[in-house]
A and B are shown apart, each in its own frame.
Chain A
């Protein structure tokens, strides 16, 4: 069933504009929060690495907390925007709006304009997606790249099947070229978050089963070409093929039958104790530390196999729960932005009074201040 190009363009344009407007408004609101202006944890790590890159410092971390894809992306926009995080966040809002448009395009290709409009608007207005699209986190970019890969693979499938309904003329072409483009998108996604390798593997298997060995090979090779420089650099610096460090620790947190399978470890004594365990055992090499946690995880699973199966079942249920699972920060803190803002305004006068008092007291100090 052919779909008129003009109607589809209008659907995609509407989705893009709605998604962009909502994201820009959200970004403006969130920027009022100190925790967004002066980020902590993963947000701070990404920003710090990106700022170093933007300043021309391309030194590669021995153990990287994160994949290099997002810091490189963020660094590019920081460099163009004179180091301004709000500028980079505005660019991210555009990328997020493009993701919503891609979602609409995927739905349109298989189910028509009605489904396209609904799907695009669902993504455009889904609060967690809005938040990750404008946060200094890798997920917004990751979602864009994964969705782009999905669209391209769907388009390749349509080219094989015959009738093709392109939104963009640029996507017309032989399926192998489209598959190679999907491979590039998946390679970039792996650079952003290395666990995307599971998605790339699934896509390659799908091509192998549904189409041909050649198609799967094209996807794997293009994907490998994209990630190869980063893997080679990582190998030369830290003698590990892993693009992201602390994999062993994350596997332990997610798979120890004694834990919840969720990021419930919080900063404090328990975290300090877990983090320092390998060092106390005399293991300082990052790769060896990863192996330490993997051994620890496997040993606990062997001791409590039933508890481990229960954990996997609980994680599967948590995967589709409406409640947003806290990781670095609770999503609800940012979703609650309106009320937080009201509270802040209400207490502004009392805070101003306190500040004057502290300024007076601080003036008598030597100026030493720990942050």
Chain B
């Protein structure tokens, strides 16, 4: 079990530490937690106050250490609301998509991803002026955002500005070869 936990820890520390990447530690930790709970129950049953005190100290230390770091980005759900908007566009629910993107922007007004998505939802709804405004905001935050450039080029094309649209498409492809 120890070899297993060490191997999982090494693979995380030398690759990327993330929510899903560290999940393989959970079964091993669950076994350790189960043993700890059984041990506490045993100490309670036998009135072993010394063991209980040591277990409580270890528990408090572990909990305190597990809260040493935090990053507000882990709990900022703007991106998830923006992806919800994207999912709703796919489901052809443009009103829902717009609401989701606006919620994302409430949580993070500097999310280029959400401004771009909002622009796309508005474009799909035929509200071209508003779409242009949203996409321009995405590009103001990040002038090299390929998707926003591409979506703005779509607006240009719909408005009949073929030259500007071609220029936008070219720039988007130049920036992101996955477009």
Contact = CB atoms under 8 A, between A and B. Distances in A.
Contacts, number: 282
A39 B158 CA distance: 29
Main secondary structure of the interface of B (DSSP, over half): helix
A279 B175 CA distance: 10
Interface string B23-47: 1111110110111011001100000
22 contacts: A198-B8, A202-B3, A202-B6, A203-B4, A206-B3, A253-B16, A254-B15, A268-B145, A269-B145, A272-B144, A317-B68, A319-B9, A321-B69, A325-B19, A325-B71, A327-B16, A327-B18, A329-B79, A332-B75, A333-B77, A361-B127, A362-B124
A264 interface: yes
A327 B21 CA distance: 9
B37 A122 contact: yes
Interface in A35-57: 35, 37-41
Contact of B87 (A34, A126, A266, A326): A34
A129 B74 CA distance: 18
Contacts of A276: 175-178
B98 interface: yes
Interface residues of B, number: 87
Interface size class of A (residues with CB under 8 A): 35 or more
A218 interface: no
A139 B20 contact: yes
Contacts of B4: 146, 150, 199, 202-203
Main secondary structure of the interface of A (DSSP, over half): helix
Nearest to A321: B69
B175 A362 contact: no
A103 to B, nearest CB: 5
A354 interface: yes
B144 A321 contact: no
Residue in A40, A104, A320 with the greatest tally of chain B CB atoms within 10 Å:
A320
B1 interface: yes
A126 B144 contact: no
Interface in A197-240: 198-199, 201-203, 205-206
Interface in B53-111: 63, 65-71, 73-77, 79-80, 83-84, 86-96, 98-100
Contacts of A179: none
B31 A319 contact: no
B95 A34 contact: no
Given A321-B68, A330-B80, 9 more contacts: A37-B87, A121-B34, A129-B26, A129-B30, A139-B24, A314-B69, A326-B18, A330-B77, A336-B77
Nearest to A324: B19
B154 interface: yes
A126 B77 contact: no
Given A254-B17, A318-B17, A358-B95, A118 B80 contact: no
B100 to A, nearest CB: 8
A364 B24 contact: no
Interface string A246-284: 000011011100000111101111001101100100000
A365 B145 contact: no
B74 A324 contact: yes
Interface of B: 1, 3-4, 6-28, 30-31, 33-35, 37-38, 41-42, 63, 65-71, 73-77, 79-80, 83-84, 86-96, 98-100, 112-113, 120, 123-127, 142-147, 151, 154, 158, 175-178
Nearest to B93: A355
A161 interface: no
A93 B34 CA distance: 22
B23 A143 contact: yes
Nearest to B125: A358
Contact of B31 (A103, A139, A261, A262): A103
A351 interface: yes
Contacts of B154: 370
Contacts of B66: 320-322
A123 interface: yes
B65 A320 contact: yes
B21 to A, nearest CB: 7
B9 A316 contact: yes
A137 B3 CA distance: 26
A6 interface: no
